[in-house]
């Protein structure tokens, strides 16, 4: 199975990166094709809700009219069968770059009749440093994303500095569930 691990953290070290490494290691042990990307490495501008009804090209043409890295990333993500999204928790939500990317992604994938990327398998990881508060709320916002995209959620994992050792095992089990169904 082809799996893409998406990091939504600006930091190349720390809790989010530990989660990325844990998932990648588990996937490689399962001999899966895996790629990692960090959303912060790309130029992703915010949605401007363009056009007369606020949908621009998104609703009818299923592509964004902005000239940045979004289209390339969307194509890349859509070429994978399964996704692991790992975001730090900022103010009880996904990171700003994750919200920016997935706000545009939802608009391009969604239409009244269908969702283009539906039935993708996904695993969500919310990595909350500091106090660890906001983890549940961040996972809830991730569930809304899955709902609108009609993705099949394999697991939601909330990781904090206090529970990272125990949660590594859960992430490894969740990776196995992601690839085996």
Domain 2-119+145-172 has CATH 3.40.50.360: yes
- Judged against a pLDDT cut of 90, whether residue 56 lies above it is answered with no
Tens of pLDDT, residue by residue over 58-72, are 877 888 888 999 999
pLDDT at 115: 61
pLDDT at 116: 64
Mean pLDDT over each residue of the chain, to the nearest integer: 91
pLDDT at 57: 79
Tens of pLDDT, residue by residue over 9-33, are 999 999 999 999 999 999 999 999 9
Domain parsing of the chain, residue ranges:
2-119+145-172
pLDDT at 62: 81
Give 70 or 107, the one with higher predicted confidence. Answer: 70
- CA distances for 173 relative to 32, 121, 150, 176, angstroms: 15, 15, 23, 5
DSSP string spanning 107-149?
HHHB-SS-BTTTT-EEEEEEEE-TT-TTHHHHHHHHHHHHHHH
**No. of H helices and E strands in the chain?**
6, 5
Radius of gyration of the chain (CA): 16
- Judged against a pLDDT cut of 70, whether residue 114 lies above it is answered with no
pLDDT at 181: 77
DSSP state, residue 47: P
Q: Which residues lie below 8 Å from residue 166, measured CB to CB, with a gap of 6+? A: none
pTM of the model: 0.93
């Amino acid at each position: 199975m082809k799996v893409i691990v998406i990091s939504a953290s600006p930091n190349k070290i720390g809790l989010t990166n530990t989660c990325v490494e844990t998932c990648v290691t588990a996937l490689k042990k399962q001999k899966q094709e895996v790629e990692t990307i960090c959303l912060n490495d790309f130029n992703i501008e915010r949605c401007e809700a363009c056009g007369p009804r606020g949908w621009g090209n998104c609703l009818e043409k299923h592509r964004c009219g902005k000239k940045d890295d979004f289209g390339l990333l969307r194509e890349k993500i859509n070429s994978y069968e399964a996704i692991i999204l790992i975001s730090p928790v900022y103010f009880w939500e996904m990171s700003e770059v994750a919200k920016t990317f997935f706000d545009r992604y939802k608009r391009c994938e969604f239409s009244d009749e269908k969702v283009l990327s539906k039935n993708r398998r996904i695993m969500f990881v919310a990595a909350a440093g500091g106090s660890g508060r906001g983890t549940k709320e961040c996972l809830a916002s991730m569930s809304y994303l899955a709902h609108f995209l009609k993705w099949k959620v394999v697991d939601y994992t909330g990781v904090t500095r206090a529970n990272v050792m125990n949660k590594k095992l859960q992430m490894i089990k969740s990776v196995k569930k992601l690839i085996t169904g």
